[in-house]
Structure 1
Amino acid sequence: MLAENNLPNLVTIIGRGVPSNYEITVDGDIELVGADPLEEATIVSEKAAEGAIETGVHRFRFSGQMANVHVVDWNSVPAPESPSTPEVHIDYVIPGRRGSN
């Protein structure tokens, strides 16, 4: 597990009550926060994660920049065409400031 200082940024996936899938790719490292990866999501590599969500929240800490986010609903319809795909929030830490913005 990498220290939070090494993974200062946060991406949050929020389920909307419909089974959906997501893929996240970063140009740094990525790690699932506060959950069992076998139950919540699968970390594919140090730079990519994919998983399924229906309700609740999945959070990942990462370094670098977000390279790609792909979300689809249960019919494989991508955002923004489907209103059922999960919401995605990305918070970057601004150098020299505490916390995320």
Structure 2
Amino acid sequence: MARDDPVHSQTASNEDDPLPNLVTVVGRGVPSSFEIAVDGELEMVADDPLEDATIVSKQVAEGTIDVGVRRFRFSGQMANVNLVDWNGVPAPESPSTPTVHVEYGAANR
């Protein structure tokens, strides 16, 4: 999967933020699976990560999504993203897989 150019926030000063970056997985209305990996630390932004059926280790998150968004804060760089639709067809071959947005230096939201 081709990566978009990373977005760097011009307004945020996150030098003291241990997880200054943000990755957002956006569902397209079709059940799909995702896996993201970073070379730093990763933490899900949610009131109850277990309710969102997402497994998060120190550097990897995986889960399912059909609608809505899943957000994760992380340090370091994005290492890998895998997306597959409900039939197991990977991105970019499937137009149903979620989109992923990565923002480096994102303000803590």
Taking structure 1 as the reference length, what is the TM-score of the superposition? 0.86
* Runs of 5+ consecutive residues of structure 2 not aligned to the other structure: 1-15
Identity of aligned residues (%): 63
Look up the match of 2:99. Answer: 87
Q: CA RMSD in A?
A: 1.6
Look up the match of 2:55. Answer: 42
Give the whole-Å Cα distance in 1 for the aligned partners of 2:86 and 2:73: 26
1:31-65 deviations in Å (ceiling 9; x for gaps): 0002311121111x200000000000000000000
Letter in 2 for 1:8: P
Look up the match of 1:76. Answer: 88
Size of the aligned set, in residue pairs, is: 92
| Structure 1 range deviating more: 27-36 or 63-72 | 27-36
* Runs of 5+ consecutive residues of structure 1 not aligned to the other structure: none
Q: In structure 2, the residue corresponding to 1:39 is in which secondary structure?
A: coil
Runs of 4 or more off by more than 4 Å in structure 1?
none
Q: Which has the higher helix share?
A: 1
Q: In structure 2, the residue corresponding to 1:76 is in which secondary structure?
A: coil
